Amino acid sequence: MAAGAGFKTFNTGDVLSAPDVNSYLMSQTVMVFADAAARTSAITSPQEGMVSYLKDTNATEYYSGSAWTAIGGGSSSSWTLLSTTAITATNSITVSSISGSYTELVVFVENFALNTTGNMAMRFNGDSGSNYCANSIQGQVGGTNNNMVGTANLFGPTQYSNLAATNNASFIVKVPFYSATNAYKSGTFYGSGTYGGTSDPVSWGGGISYRSTSAISSITLFSSGEQFIAQGNIKIYGVK
Amino acid sequence: MTKPMIKEVNAETGEEVIRDMNDAEIAQLEADREDFKAVIKSQEDRAIAKAALLERLGITDEEAKLLLG
C-alpha cells in the first residue's frame, strides 16, 4: 500500500480505482479492530501514519513507522466518562448501573458542600454490612494531624474530617479491578476541604478495603444527616 | 417535618429520580448518623486524653512527637 499520497475528496460520478482505494481511502480512515492481535493479523505491513482503533481497550493509535503508538501522550490507558451527576439538595445520592467493562473505577466528587457542618461517606452496591475497612491520614493547618480509622459499615473519604458548612471540598476514590467477581476490592481515596468550625484547610488520604466478591455497580454518597448544597458534580470514569 | 431526600441516577440510561427516603432508608440514615457521632466522640475523647497526658508529663505535643519519632 502506498501511504501518504495525500487527501482526496471524491466527487459524485468519480470512478474509484484500486490505486485510489490503496493510496487514499486506506490512509484516510480509522481502521477498527477487536484487539491488537486482530490488527496484526490484518495489517502485516503497517505504513507510517496509519490510524487504528482497538475496541477492547478503546485506544486510538497511529503507526509511527516502527510501532503502534497511543494518540495523545503515549499512555496506553484510556478514560471513559461513564456518568456525570449534579449534586442536588438531598441527603444521599446513588449512581447505579455502572458498567463493569473497565479495569479501574474512578469517582470524582467535585466542589461539594453541606448546608451545616458535618461529614460524608460512601458505600458500594448499597451494602451497609460490616464489610469495609478504611484508614487514612488527615492534615489540618492550624490543627493536629489525625489518624482516621473507618467504621465497618461505610468508608469515609471525608467522614472524620468534620467539614465546614458551605465550604467546598473535593475528593477522589479509585478502585482497581472493581468488577472482579473472584476477589475482594481495595482502593484509595484522597481529598481536601475546610475543617468544621474553623477556616483551617484540611486534606486527607488513605486506603479502603471492601470485603465483597460482587462487582461494584453502584456507589452511594451520603452525609451524616446534613443536606448537600446544590452545587458540584459526581463524575464516574472507567479506566482501561 | 420534611423527609430526607435521596437522588438516584442510572449511569447507563442517565435517568434521574429525586424522592423522599422510604422508612428503611431513613432508618439507615439514623443509624449512620449515630455511627458518625460515635466515631467523632471517640476522636474527641482521644484528643482530650492526649492533652491531659501531655499536661501530666509536662511536655508539649511537639516534644511528644520528638520522643516518638
ipTM of the complex: 0.79
- Whether the per-residue pLDDT at B50 is higher than 80: the answer is yes
pTM to 2 decimals? Answer: 0.71
Q: Do A159 and B39 touch (CB under 8 A)?
A: yes
Amino acid A48: pLDDT? 84
- Identify whether the C-beta of residue A93 lies closer than 8 Å to the C-beta of residue A218: no
Full 3-state SS string of chain A: CCCCCCCCCCCCCCCCCHHHHHHHHHHHCEEEECCHHHHHHHCCCCCCCCEEEECCCCEEEEECCCCEEECCCCCCCCEEEEEEEECCCCCEEEEECCCCCCCEEEEEEEEECECCCECEEEEECCCCCCCEEEEEEEEECCCCCEEEECCCCCECCCCCCCECCCCCEEEEEEEECCCCCCCCEEEEEEEEEEECCCCCEEEEEEEEEECCCCCCCCEEEEECCCCECCCCEEEEEEEC
Q: Do A91 and B6 touch (CB under 8 A)?
A: yes
Amino acid A76: pLDDT? 60
Q: Do B35 and A153 touch (CB under 8 A)?
A: yes
Interface test with B, best of A222, A226, A231, A235 (most B CBs within 10 A): A222
Amino acid A220: pLDDT? 95
Q: How far apart are CA A217 and CA B6, in angstroms?
A: 18
Q: Do B39 and A227 touch (CB under 8 A)?
A: no
* B62 at interface of A, judged by CB pairs closer than 8 A: no
- Identify whether the C-beta of residue A156 lies closer than 8 Å to the C-beta of residue A172: no
Q: How far apart are CA A91 and CA A228, in angstroms?
A: 6
Amino acid A121: pLDDT? 86
Task: Report the amino acid identity of residue A188.
Answer: T
- Chain A residues with beta carbon closer than 8 angstroms to that of B6: 90-94
In three-state secondary structure terms, B54 is helix
Instruction: At B48, list the grid cell.
Output: 482530650
Q: Do A144 and B47 touch (CB under 8 A)?
A: yes
Mean pLDDT of chain A: 83
Residue of A nearest to B35 (CA): A151
Q: Do A160 and B43 touch (CB under 8 A)?
A: yes
* B2 at interface of A, judged by CB pairs closer than 8 A: no
- Chain B residues with beta carbon closer than 8 angstroms to that of A93: 6-9
Residue-wise pLDDT tens digits, A1-43: 444 565 677 888 888 888 888 777 776 678 888 888 989 888 8
Residue of B nearest to A230 (CA): B7
Interface test with A, best of B1, B5, B9, B54 (most A CBs within 10 A): B9
The one-digit pLDDT tens for each residue of chain A (240 residues) are: 444 565 677 888 888 888 888 777 776 678 888 888 989 888 888 888 888 888 888 888 888 888 888 876 545 678 999 999 999 999 999 999 999 999 999 999 998 888 888 888 889 999 988 898 887 777 777 665 555 555 666 666 555 566 777 778 888 999 999 999 999 999 998 888 887 777 788 888 888 899 999 999 999 999 888 899 999 999 999 998
Amino acid A4: pLDDT? 54
Q: Which of A159-163, B41-45, B58-62 has the highest mean pLDDT?
A: B58-62
- Chain B residues with beta carbon closer than 8 angstroms to that of A151: 35, 39
CA distance from start to end of chain B: 52
* B7 at interface of A, judged by CB pairs closer than 8 A: yes
Residue-wise pLDDT tens digits, B4-21: 999 999 999 999 999 999
Q: Do B36 and A225 touch (CB under 8 A)?
A: yes
